[in-house]
Amino acid sequence: MIIDLQRFIDKSRPAWMELESILKRVETDNRPMSVKEMERFHELYELTAADLAKLTTFSSEPETRNYLESLVARAYGEIHETRDKQRRIFPLKWLFQTLPQTFRRQIGAFYLSLAITLAGCVFGGFATYFDPDSRHVTMPFGLDSLRPSDRVKQEETRTVDLLAGNKSSFSAALMTNNIRVSITTLAFGATWGIGTILLLFYNGIILGAIAIDYIADGQAKFLLGWLMPHGVIEIPAILVAGQAGFVLALAFIGWGDRAVLKARLRQVSRDVVTLSIGFALMLIWAGFVESFLSQYHEPIIPYSAKIAFGTVELILLILFFARSGAGSKKS
């Protein structure tokens, strides 16, 4: 049997047009529909779906079928979606509630990230302590070319501000580089976490090597004054990137979870994005602090002031992630 295509189109066209106009509105307008509008929308969807079924069964006219398929596909997406429609963004609620709650919900992945970085630190520290030559391999940015005490002497006697007129560009470079590294750490979660582990471990090696190098040379105070103001935010930010990477990796692996891959990924994707925006914000702050504060040493800024600043930041960060949004509803 073949349907009378022209009559079929003429008869059904008004419903298709109406559905198309509703879809256009739904897709562009964030205003929720009234019950009446929803009923009409659903009715039109069912009518059009039935027309598609009829056309597929009784005729093979591809243009009309494509048109109806596209309408039904769009309506299906709107009607069967059960996840919240992200209508409006509340930045403060997101910052003080969603982000810390997400962090705490995925705390296991953070501990894993921390443990791997600490393992890297121990390895880097041991390597530098027992084999000082290894600093040429483990230390980046030319830090291996000077003994810590020489560098401290150089920094404390410097009369020229090397960053004068370059502070903004230096902080922009730091932010973009750190965010890029962190996103890569996160993205490597898709390699079942292997890439994330390697990057975190490598990061830990650098940290451990630098720390032991300065401590062994009696420059612990300089080290704390230099690293703490930005490091107490930057290092946790990279750990959060690792945390997001592991959340993604665990969803890929699906350990002890009987849900299919896409259901597992769907479950964690909002958390991964929340953590990503979180670490990006932290790194923006760290970039500013590193450029405008961390690179200035005694006698310009006393180390104790820098250490105190870093300590305050660290306490606030811990309080933020541990307590913020604790009493409010899960978001």
Partner 1 sequence: MKTSALLIRTPEGIVFAQSLAGPVTRFFAWVIDLMLIIAFLFGLNQLMSWVRLINPDIAASVSTAGFFVMNIGYGMFLEWMWRGQTIGKRVMRLRVVDADGLRLQFDQIVTRNLLRFLDMLPLMYVVGGVSCWLSRKCQRLGDIAANTIVIRIPQIAEPDLEHLLEGKFNSLRKYPHLAARLRQRVSPVEASTALQAVMRRDRFEPIARIELFRQLAAHFQAKVDFPPEATEGLTDEQCIRNVIDVIYSARS
Give the binding site for partner 1 (CB under 8 A). Answer: 2, 4-7, 9, 13, 27, 46, 49-50, 52-53, 56, 58-64, 66-67, 69-70, 72-73, 76-78, 80-81, 83, 85-86, 165-169, 171-173, 175-176, 179-180, 183-184, 186-188, 190-191, 195, 248, 252, 261-262, 265-266, 269-270, 272-273, 276
Q: Tell me the angle at which helices 35-58 and 62-80 cross, rounded to the nearest 10 degrees.
A: 150
SS3 256: coil
Among residues 62, 215, 32, which one has the least CA distance to residue 125? 215
Nearer to partner 1, 35 or 164 (CB): 164
Nearer to partner 1, 96 or 252 (CB): 252
* Residue with smaller CB distance to partner 1, 87 or 329: 87
- DSSP one-letter code for 159: -
Minimum gap (Å) between residue 46 Cβ and partner 1: 7
CB nearer partner 1, residue 73 or residue 146: 73
Q: What is the DSSP letter of 140?
A: -
Q: State the nearest-atom distance from the C-beta of 171 to partner 1, in Å.
A: 7
Nearer to partner 1, 198 or 317 (CB): 198
Least distance (Å) between residue 331 CB and partner 1: 13
Type of residue numbered 128:
T
CB of 74 to partner 1, least distance (A): 9
Which sign does the torsion angle of CA 121, 163, 233, 282 carry?
negative
* Token pair for 313: 């930041």
Least Å distance, CB 319 to partner 1, is 27
User: Left (φ > 0), alpha (ψ -120 to 50) or beta: where does 193 sit?
Assistant: left
User: Which tokens hold the place of 135?
Assistant: 């600093």
Cβ nearer to partner 1, comparing 78 with 298: 78
- Residue pair 198/123 in contact (Cβ under 8 Å)? The answer is no
* Helical pair 220-253 and 303-323, crossing angle rounded to 10 deg: 20
CB of 265 to partner 1, least distance (A): 6
* Cα dihedral 115, 118, 124, 128 in deg (nearest 10): -150
